[in-house]
Amino acid sequence: MSLRAATRVTRSLSGRKGPRVQRGLASRSLKPFPSTDRLFEPAVSAGVAVMHMQSPPVNSLSLDFLTEFCIGLEKLEMDKGCRGLVITSSQPKVFSAGLDILEMYGKSPERCGEFWKAVQEMWLKLYGSDMITIAAINGSSPAGGCLMALTCDYRIMADQPRYTIGLNETLLGIVAPFWFKDTMANTVGHRTTEMALQLGLLYNPSEALKVGLVDQLVPEDQILSAAAQTMTKWLAIPDHARQITKSMMRKPTIDRLTSNRDADIQNFVNFITKDSIQKSLRAYLEILKKKKT
Judged by the rule CB under 6 A, the positions of this chain that interact with ligand CO8 are: 57-58, 60, 93-94, 97-102, 140, 142-144, 168-169, 172, 174-177, 268, 271-272, 288-289, 291-292
Options 168, 172, 217, 224, the catalytic residue: 168
Can you tell me the distance from the alpha carbon of 79 to that of 150, in angstroms, rounded to the nearest whole number?
23
Q: Where are the beta strands (DSSP E) in 208-284?
A: 216-218
Options 144, 145, 166, 200, the catalytic residue: 144
Closest separation in Å from C-beta 93 to ligand CO8: 5
Closest separation in Å from C-beta 66 to ligand CO8: 11
User: Considering beta carbons, is residue 58 or 136 the nearer one to ligand CO8?
Assistant: 58
Options 25, 66, 76, 99, the catalytic residue: 99
User: Considering beta carbons, is residue 154 or 268 the nearer one to ligand CO8?
Assistant: 268
Nearest-CA neighbor of 67 among 95, 33, 103? Answer: 103
Query: Distances from the Cα of 222 to the Cαs of 159, 174, 229, 231, 250, in angstroms?
Result: 10, 35, 11, 14, 30
Options 169, 197, 200, 213, the catalytic residue: 169
User: Considering beta carbons, is residue 101 or 132 the nearer one to ligand CO8?
Assistant: 101
User: Considering beta carbons, is residue 80 or 274 the nearer one to ligand CO8?
Assistant: 274
CB 101 within 8 A of CB 284: yes
Measured from each CB, the residue nearest to ligand CO8 is: 98
| Torsion angle, alpha carbons of 133, 134, 139, 144, to 10 | 30
Nearest-CA neighbor of 135 among 153, 165, 155, 150? Answer: 155
Known catalytic membership, residue 99: yes
Closest separation in Å from C-beta 56 to ligand CO8: 9
Nearest-CA neighbor of 90 among 284, 253, 223? Answer: 223
User: Considering beta carbons, is residue 23 or 93 the nearer one to ligand CO8?
Assistant: 93
Closest separation in Å from C-beta 156 to ligand CO8: 19
| Torsion angle, alpha carbons of 83, 224, 209, 143, to 10 | -80
Closest separation in Å from C-beta 246 to ligand CO8: 24
- How long a stretch of residues is the chain? 293
Known catalytic membership, residue 103: no
Can you tell me the distance from the alpha carbon of 266 to that of 264, in angstroms, rounded to the nearest whole number?
5
Can you tell me the distance from the alpha carbon of 33 to that of 24, in angstroms, rounded to the nearest whole number?
5
User: So which residues are the catalytic ones?
Assistant: 99, 144, 168-169
